[in-house]
Structure 1
Amino acid sequence: MNITELLSTERVVCSHDVASKKRVLDLVSELIAAGGDKLDSRAIFDSLVGRERLGSTGLGNGVALPHGRLGGTEHALGAFIRLAKGVDFDAIDQQPVDLVFALLVPEHFTDEHLKILAYLAEMFSDRVFCERLRATTADAELYTLLTRWTPSDSIMT
């Protein structure tokens, strides 16, 4: 999988200061909508919140992968935020989340959706990689790290 198919530099934000899970979901919805695909940020937000109601997408170790489905798009889109301070995301380990990768997929995506989520889960289970993300201080550096990660990188963790 090539993560550049999901992300653009405009949808990667470093050190954003937010205080709640709701605001995080609102922010990633705005980032995805601003990606030029003429999507409504409110519809994206509603999709992400609807999925969160089924169970938290907080994976643990400070990582969350909120995701949802939406009509009106033909390809998957992502946004990434490294928060300045962790927020309560109802994660399985009850720890605050500071790394958030949001994913929006078309309604008709089934296998593709699961493959993308599996790839992202593998990426964010790489503790060394996550520490590199946390140490980064610029949006462009974050984007570079995210787009250059490969599954073979995780062998070193």
Structure 2
Amino acid sequence: MPLTDLMAAVQTQVCAAADRESVLLAAAQLLACRQANTEQIHRNLCEREALGSTAIGHGIAIPHGRAPALERPRGALLKLVAPVDFGGDEPVDLVFAIAVPSHYTHQHLMLLSELAELFSEPGIRQALRDAPDAAALRAIIDLPPPASAA
């Protein structure tokens, strides 16, 4: 099942950001369904990031947080023009931020697991890095995941 089927909306953007803070703000703007939600989502992403880096390796970060105003999860995939320090072992150039409703507990963990699995594929990571624009990023994540070799 494509990742986008698990969320109410997934926005994509090629983003020029100077640091982790500006990446989290850009992600919050994409995640918010109304402008009023942007500040709360940004605060929640920053609070989670303060607990420990959401960088997972291979230049990927998955910042995440709760958003009480949401009824279903939302995602934001950002391809950074230049890598930024996310507090991990290496700079990050691909970010998939998620905001989930407050009542999502198990589903939140399942989404994080799905994202980690998606980004474990070297071909997907390279395709995202090679994508020239937001539409190309969207086309990559809309594809069904590759069948595992049995």
TM-score, normalization by structure 2: 0.91
Counterparts of 1:39 and 1:73, CA distance in 2? 12
Cα RMSD (Å): 1.7
Deviations 1:108-141 (A, max 9, x none): 1011001110000000111111011101102111
1:4 maps to 2:11: no
Deviations 1:37-76 (A, max 9, x none): 5651010001001111111100111000000012111110
Counterparts of 1:50 and 1:99, CA distance in 2? 20
Counterparts of 2:8 and 2:140, CA distance in 1? 12
Match of 1:30 in 2: 29
Cα shift at 1:80: 0.7
Match of 1:124 in 2: 119
1:59 maps to 2:36: no
Match of 1:76 among 73, 77, 82: 73
TM-score, normalization by structure 1: 0.87
Q: Tell me: CA distance 1:123–1:136, structure 2 relative to 1, closer, same or farther (3 Å).
A: same
Unaligned runs of 5+ in 1: none
Percent of aligned pairs sharing the same letter: 36
Q: Is the 8 A contact 2:8 2:72 kept in 1?
A: no
Counterparts of 1:74 and 1:51, CA distance in 2? 20
Unaligned runs of 5+ in 2: none
Q: Is the 8 A contact 1:86 1:96 kept in 2?
A: yes
Q: Is the 8 A contact 1:47 1:68 kept in 2?
A: yes
Tell me, what secondary structure is at the counterpart of 2:31? helix
Counterparts of 2:99 and 2:30, CA distance in 1? 11
Match of 1:108 in 2: 103
Aligned length: 148
Runs of 4+ in 1 over 2 A off after TM superposition: 1-9, 36-39
